[in-house]
């Protein structure tokens, strides 16, 4: 006669095998998509064409100071210049984040079967992220704007996070870094007010990041079912803290100095801006709805997300 304990163990084994099978099926579909829809930015984009006079480098509604008193005092030329520097700052932030992501992915697959579709897709994603980082770096250089590194504190917090992060924590942070910027880029690449090169860069990034988001979402959903309780709670707290770091890092104060604005005044107006708060919450909503659904936004973690300004 089969005991209850044995029956439970068999059910658990079947569930685990089902999750692994689903993981492999998702990864194989993403590998097939990668084979059909991957781009070489060096070949796809016209890096020789000059920027067009009067065109934006980021949609004006997404520029941090939009609709603030300071914005209303700025000339159109200064607003466009700010959009150029903010585009460079976001590209710099993207490089920082993608380097963290690549390290987390390598750690995730370290002890997994290299022949699995799941691992092969992770390696494919790392390849994508390498291209994206080089594309962003070339965009910054092409615009003759500075590279905008994150603060020294955020550099150290990134190192700490890479060291202590669990697998579900890593995938939650991955989605945070990808989905907010993805929302903005989906508004950018069809916008004819924006420079063609910026639109091309964002189009490539959106198409390829869609696969990365699917991979991270599916793995995080599985992890929040199978991970130990302590790991699930640790994920809630660390993801909330990472949301706080990310929301601050999303605006680099040096952009204001470099376009001739008072840094303190500009930062104060950004923090007080209802429009900016709405932009960031709209950009995060698809992600926060998903995280709420799978049990990440609970307890202390939810309070941290709210304090970041990304969750209403």
User: Across the 312 residues of the chain, what is the mean pLDDT of every consecutive 10-residue run?
Assistant: 44 46 88 91 94 96 97 97 97 94 92 94 94 96 92 91 88 90 95 97 94 92 92 92 90 96 96 95 95 94 94 89
pLDDT at 23: 86
Three-state SS annotation for 264-303? HHHHHHHHHCHHHHHHHHHHHHHHHHHHHHCCCCCHHHHH
Cβ contact 58:194 at 8 Å: yes
Cβ contact 207:193 at 8 Å: no
The CB density around residue 158, as the number of other CB atoms within 10 Å, is 20
By CB atoms closer than 10 A (0-12, 13-18, 19+), residue 113 is exposed
Name the pTM for this structure: 0.88
pLDDT at 68: 97
Of the candidates 150, 170, 1, 160, the residue with the CA atom closest to the CA atom of residue 90: 150
Residue 144's SS3 state is: coil
Domains of the chain, each with CATH number or no CATH: 25-36+62-308 (1.10.620.20)
Beta carbons within 8 Å of 205's beta carbon, 6+ residues apart: 132, 135, 182, 185
pLDDT at 130: 95
pLDDT at 162: 86
């Amino acid at each position: 006669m089969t005991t209850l304990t044995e029956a439970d163990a068999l059910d658990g084994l079947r569930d685990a095998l089902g999750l692994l099978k689903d993981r492999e099926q998702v990864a194989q579909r993403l590998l097939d998509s990668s084979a059909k829809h991957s781009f070489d930015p060096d070949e796809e984009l016209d890096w020789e064409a000059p920027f067009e006079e009067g065109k934006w480098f980021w949609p004006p509604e997404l520029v941090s100071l939009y609709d603030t008193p300071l914005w209303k005092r700025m000339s159109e030329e200064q607003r466009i210049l700010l959009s150029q520097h903010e585009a460079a700052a976001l590209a710099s932030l993207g490089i920082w984040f993608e380097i963290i992501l690549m390290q987390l992915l390598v750690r995730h697959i370290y002890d997994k079967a290299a022949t699995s579709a799941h691992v092969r897709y992770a390696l494919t994603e790392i390849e994508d992220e390498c291209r994206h980082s080089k594309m962003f770096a070339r965009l910054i250089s092409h615009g003759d704007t500075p590279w905008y590194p994150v603060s020294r504190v955020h550099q150290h917090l990134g190192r700490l996070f890479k060291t202590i992060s669990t697998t579900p924590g890593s995938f939650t942070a991955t989605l945070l870094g990808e989905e907010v910027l993805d929302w903005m880029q989906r508004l950018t690449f069809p916008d004819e007010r924006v420079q063609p090169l910026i639109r091309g860069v964002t189009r490539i990034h959106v198409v390829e990041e869609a696969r990365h988001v699917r991979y991270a979402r599916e793995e995080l959903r599985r992890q929040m079912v199978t991970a130990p309780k302590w790991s699930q709670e640790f994920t809630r707290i660390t993801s909330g803290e990472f949301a706080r770091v990310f929301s601050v890092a999303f605006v680099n104060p040096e952009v204001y100095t470099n376009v001739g604005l008072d840094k303190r005044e500009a930062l104060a107006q950004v923090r007080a801006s209802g429009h900016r708060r709405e932009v960031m919450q709209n950009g995060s909503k698809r992600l926060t709805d998903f995280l709420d659904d799978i049990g990440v936004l609970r307890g202390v973690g939810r309070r941290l997300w709210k304090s970041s300004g990304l969750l209403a």
